[in-house]
Every structure is written in C-alpha cells, then in structure tokens.
Amino acid sequence: MAGSTIKTVHDIFQSMESGPAATSSYATAQAWLEHHSRSLGLFFDGKFVRPADSQSHSLCDSKGANVCSTVCAADDDVSHCASSAVNGYKAWSSLTCHQRAKVLLGVVSALGQHGQCVTELCELCGASCSPSALVRLLQYYGSWAQLRDTLITGWTPLGVVTVVASDDCSLYSLMLKVLPALAMGNSVIVVPGRSTAPPALLLAQLFIGAGLPAGALNILTGSNVSLGAKVAQSPSISYVTYCGNKQDGVMLCKATAGMGVPVSVSPCVGATCPFIIFESADIDSAVEGVLEAAFRKKKEIHWVLCVQESVLESVVARLKLRMAGMKCVALQSDEDRVQVDATVQEAQQQGATLVQSCAAPPSGAQYPPTVLCGAAPSSPFVVDPSPGPLLPLMTFRSNTEAVTLGNHSPHGQAASIWTEDLTLALETAKSMSVGSVWVNSHSVSDPCLPVCGHKDSGTCTDGGQEGLYQFLLPPSSSPPLPRSSPVSMDYSKFGTAITPVVIPDDADAASAPKYYQQFVGGKACKSVSGCSVAVHSPGGGRVLAYCPDGGRKDVRNAVEAAAKVQPGWMKKSPSARAQSLYSLAKGLEAKRRDLAVSISVQTGLSMDEAEKEVELSIARLSDWAAYCDKVLGGALPVPQSGSALALPEALGVVGVVLPDKNPLLSVVTLLGAAIATGNAIIMTPSQKYPLPALALIQVLQSSDLPAGLVNIITGTRDQMTAALANHSVIKAIWYWGSAEGCQYLQHTCTSPLKTLRLSCQKDEEGKDGGRDWTQSHSSLLEEMWRNAVQWKSVWIPTA
C-alpha cells in the first residue's frame, strides 16, 4: 500500500529497532514524584489530601539527596481518616468475595504497567521490595479473598484494622499484613515508616485505580508509634497490628494499653538468628549461603554462625577464601562506625579472632565484612549485636549442643540449618524454638508460609491461612473489650493491695468451714504465705470455706514444675494426650455428684442446673480428647522447587485467670484447650466462685496427667494477675477480669512479649464479657485451639 508505515519483519531485523514502550502514566518514580511536586500528602477517601499548615518530614536517599517530603498527620486528619475507613469498610465488606478478589487481582495488572515506577521508588527510599514479590502477595491473597466464605465458614471481618510499621520495616513485611486484612473484607489504615511511606502511597493510588472503594485503604504518615496510638484511640478501630523493631512495638503496646483495642506485635527487625552448619553439610554451599545472608543482602535480622567443631577449620578456610576481595559495607552513620569499632575491640579482648575481607579503613561510615571467631553465647556482641557487617562464630560438638546453642537467644524468629542428612535436619527443625526454619537455604519467603515469631519475637501469625484469622471474628467469640480512655494507675503497685486473710487453725467443730488447698506440682498444698481467704455464700452471707491466698512465690513454684514437665508432654503423641484427657473425663464422671454440689453451694444454682454444667464439662473434655489428633497443618503448595511444612506447636506455659461464669465448665474448656495442644497451664480460679475449681483437684490427683502439667492457685485476682504477668517463662495469659487488669497486662507483658487473650467482666454483675461457655459450636473449639498454638514453617529445597 502506497504511503504505508507498517514495517515488515525483514525491515525490523535490518534496523534492529526496539518496539514501542508500554504506555504508563508514570514511567519512572521521578515522574510520579514530580507530579506530586515531591510533597506527598495523606491518602484517604480514595485521594491524596494535603492539609493546610501541616508539618512535613523530608526523606533522603542513601547519598543524602532529597527524595520527597511527607505530611505529618494531625489530630483532625486522624479523625477524618477514621471516618473514611468506616465508610470504606461498609462499601468493601458489602461486596461479594468474587468482587473483592477481582479488585486485588486487578492490582496485579496495575503493577505490570507501573512496575518500573514501583521498583525505582523503593530503591530511592531504601524500602526494597521487588514487584514480583508484590505480585505473588496479591495473587495469593486475591485467591483467599475469593475463597473466604467457602473455606472459612462463619468467620466475619473485624471492621477497621490499623497496621503500624517502624521506620526500618520493609515494604514486604508491611504488605504481608495489609493484604490479608483487605482480602478478608476489612478496611485498613496504614501508618507506615518513613522509608515505606512513598511506596505505600503509590500502591494505594494503584489500588483505587483497580476499583478498590474509597476509604478501604488509607495512609497516614508522620511519627509512626505516636501516630499509631492516636489512631487506636478512635472508637471505630477494631484491631491494631505492628511490624518492625521491638522497641517501637513495645512503645505502641504501652501507649495503647487501656484503650480497649487488641494489639499484636511482629518484631521482624533486629532478631538474632542461628545459622547452623553440621559436619554432614555441603560446606561450599553453606559458606556461600552464610556470606550472602550476613553480608550481601540488606538484612533485617542478625545472624550468628554455629559450626560443628569437626569441620571448623574447613569452614574458616573457605570463609577466608570467599571473603577475599569483598568490598566494605556502607554503614548508616558515623555513630554506627564507632559502635562497630567498639564491638570488634571488645571481641578481641575476649579472645575472638577476626576474619576480614580487607583492612578496615581508619575512618568513615563503612566497614569490611568481618567474622568474629571464638565467640561465646554470653558475649555481648552475640546477645546484643551492633549494626554493621559483623558475624559471630561459635562452635558445638554434638547435635544436641547445636540445638541448645541455637535456642540460647531470647528471640525465636528463624534459623538456617545446613546438612545433607534429612533426618537430622527435621529433628533439629522440630527442636528449634523459632517460627521459620530453612534447610540448606536462608531467608526464603512466600505468603503461603506462616510467619510466627516464638519466644520474644512476636504475638501473632502472619502469612498462610493461619495468618488470616487475626483479621477475622469467630462466630462464638466474646464481645470486644469496652472502648475507653486509659485510667491513671501506678503499675508498680497493681495487685499489692492488702486483702483480709486468716491464719488457718485446727478447728474442732464439725460445722467449721473447710480449709481448701491449692494444687502445685501435682500435690495439694498450702500457699507459701500460709494465709487463707474466706469464701462466702451467694449474696455475701455465711463463710463457706477458706482458700489459700496465693502469690508470687506460689506462681514461681508452679512455673518451675510446669516448665519441667511441659517439653515431655508436648513430645507425647496426640493419641497419648487424648487418652489422658479421656481418663480425666472419666474422673469427672466419677465425681459428678460432688462437683455438682460444689457448684450449687457456691453459685446458688439449683442441683439440676449444676448437674447440667457437670455433664457439659464431661462432654467438653471428651471433645478436647477427640480434638488432639485432629490438628491442622501439613505440606504447603509453594510455587518454588522444594517442600514446605506448616506445623502447629504448643506455646509453652500458659497462665489463665478464670471467669466467674460457669466456674467448672470454663475451667474444663480452657484446661482442655491448653493441655490438648501440648501446653502446661497455671490457673487462678474465679475469686468469687473458686470452690468448683478446687473440687476438681481430687480428679486431677487421681488422673495420669504428669505432675506439674496442671496447677491451680487461688488468691486475689489482681495479685495473681501481677504474678503471672511478671514471670518471664509464661508465654501467654488468658484473662477474664477488670478493665484495669486488662490495661495492666497490655502495659506490662512486653518484656518478654506475651500473647494476650483479654476479656473484661463486670464483677458486680458476675459476667465474663458475654462468653457463653455452654454452647457446643465447633468454632468455639477452633478458636480456643488457635489461641493455644503457635506455628512453625519448615522450608526444604530440592535441586
């Protein structure tokens, strides 16, 4: 055709011209920033908002050049954003699952068009996250949005969720919380760190372009922790979750204590993790892996290299060979250089030898990759590592010693295990007290893998199906905590009020009230104080009995017994635990009459109602016995070559402050949930109705449960709450009590972190926050079961 501009294939090969570039509104990050005049506002109501007379923060790149500025949200902005999120929740939750999935998957197309812009912006801000990782997140949670009502029947979205991130948190960790919250039908208010704020604002714009209703995703920038606490004050907020360093997470927990909003923490930055090399490992691959993990990747965690003594010389020789020629690593500031120099000097004084890629420059914010050989587990540079490219190296002799060394850290985020012996790898992975284990690999991430920090590394699960439940409300849940402002209280004096007590004497009168004993370490015993508290009949009439006035020393003895027996109980097979629970149910059946009498006398219920509660308690224990070997978990469908396992594990030692309502049935329900999943339990019975729980002691004494697995300590509720909260071995506390007690636990249980399940009850009405313990809905067992376990993911690659 005359005048045609269409080129043939021959013409294209002759000229080798490139095809037309894909059209994009913002081809580069610089173009997007210039469009916003390098001044980014807040994002709510589906658009950017720039409040008048607002303060701003400047963000610079690694070379000190200005990238952009972000607005510091004020109180009015928080209020407007909360209103936007409420409206967004109504619109977003009203859509069908298919419609929500369509929106999330639509963002994948937007990332394909604007991928270069997202990548460049992340690099400029130091919040590296590849578009392919974001695409995988969107695809995974888009499919869960589609299947929510099919595979998670009856669970409903919480409402408005707030996600807070620290300044050093990665964009991937932030989106690992934002996307599942959206997929389950919640609206989200994001309070990002400084480095993740610009990419988060860009992604919010892409979400709106993909059809997300206005207000379903909102971004507030400013001081992350204090701003997150301001957002939590809004009565429309249902849940606050945090990711980043632990220090900011602790500050957020304390700032929000008493507001009546649940807070979870995922300290994904700053943890110390073991990198274990056994003699059966491929040494070359292991050395290459540790160098990549410790020195070549932007790391959010600190690695500690643990090498079996028989291959130490081989590992050190390969380290010297591979490290030769590696360049110095840039530090964030001159202050970091001073801290690194001090750490290295201290290590050398303690006998450590150095393996360095090159000599350290005399000054400047850079330092060569350095291995500190000969470190001890108690060395300060191992316990509290400094910033910079430092890798402590410790040795071990046996496999058991390797596990002990790896579990020495207070953190429990991850571990990398290198061995060609699959049996050894799986045994070590199961013994490690961490949430993620990588075999012959490191730092593998995928949204199908549950990420659950053990010990001091978190109080919630992110990723996988297990990570969805924190954003859902079960059908049988207790009503939420009442929203209120924190009360002014002296936390150091909580639970120290003097309670009238009596010293037991040898009363001869047959009609004298009975003196009960508590149950610690498998034995009935008096409290350490030797004092007792009077228990009155309903309405505050006559004295029915005297119960021990337990305290801190009683809790200490109970924890010692529980911590000793719990690991062995956890290792028992599920069927063995089930048989013990069936035996306990038979013991309840044998003491049916005595238990019913204790309920009737204590609460004032009729014998028919009391016998009904006993019958429900027997059935509930049988339910937990049947539940033991029906645990979830197993292989995961990972997109990469290899296999992955998700394993539910026991929390450890659980402290429970029991409710007033259904004083026997509630005890049995919570006791069954704890020990069926492999935990040990320390229970404080209802201060108002303790006798049914104490009557249960006779059943426990005649059961085959290991001594110390179940402990019952009576006493004043606040005093026992303080004793449980301040014991470092207790991993979780389930609490039914006052609003002040809930506030105290949220403020205190931060060092180390404890998983909290809090319910507020009104003492004068004898209610436990509305929980109906008599219901037999399967969701009650599932909710309790999920509260009693923590997850571990194990990644095993293949060639």
Counted residue by residue, the chain has a size of 799
Q: Encoding tokens for residue 212?
A: 């997300």
Q: Encoding tokens for residue 92?
A: 């977003």
- Over range 134-160, report the average pLDDT: 95
Which of 206, 419, 198, 210 is closest to 311 using CA atoms? 419
CA distance 305 to 292: 13
752 prior amide bond cis, ω within 30: yes
The pLDDT tens digits of the residues spanning 342-372 come to 999 999 999 999 999 898 998 888 999 999 9
The per-residue b/e assignment along 613-641, b for 16 or more CB within 10 angstroms, e otherwise, is: bbebbbebbbbbbebbeebebeebebeee
Q: Which residue has the higher pLDDT, 639 or 379?
A: 379
Check residue 481 and give its pLDDT. Answer: 86
pTM over 0.95: no
Highest-confidence segment of 9-18, 469-478, 617-626:
617-626
Helix 97-125 vs helix 171-183: angle between axes, to the nearest 10 degrees? 170
CA angle 660, 665, 669 (to 5 degrees): 105
Kindly tell me if the per-residue pLDDT of 1 is higher than 60. Answer: no
Judge whether 391 and 303 are in contact, CB under 8 Å. Answer: yes
Check residue 128 and give its pLDDT. Answer: 79
User: Which residues are 396's β-sheet partners?
Assistant: 308
Q: Within 13 Å, how many C-alpha atoms sit on residue 343's CB side?
A: 25
Check residue 541 and give its pLDDT. Answer: 74
Which of 108, 368, 404 is closest to 276 using CA atoms? 404
Judge whether 484 and 255 are in contact, CB under 8 Å. Answer: no
Judge whether 161 and 471 are in contact, CB under 8 Å. Answer: yes
Kindly tell me if the per-residue pLDDT of 295 is higher than 80. Answer: yes
pLDDT band at 502 (very low <50, low <70, confident <90, very high): low
DSSP 764: G
Check residue 22 and give its pLDDT. Answer: 40
Check residue 504 and give its pLDDT. Answer: 52
The per-residue b/e assignment along 174-197, b for 16 or more CB within 10 angstroms, e otherwise, is: bbbbbbbbbbbbbbbbbbbbbbbb
Check residue 673 and give its pLDDT. Answer: 96
CA distance 455 to 793: 15
Check residue 770 and give its pLDDT. Answer: 62
Helix 224-232 vs helix 75-93: angle between axes, to the nearest 10 degrees? 60
Kindly tell me if the per-residue pLDDT of 498 is higher than 70. Answer: no
Residues whose CB falls within 8 Å of the CB of residue 440, separated by 6 or more in sequence, listed in order: 281, 282, 285, 286, 289, 417, 418, 419, 420, 425, 796, 797
pLDDT band at 299 (very low <50, low <70, confident <90, very high): confident
Query: In whole angstroms, how far apart are CA 754 and each of 481, 709, 745, 782, 785?
Result: 18, 20, 9, 21, 17
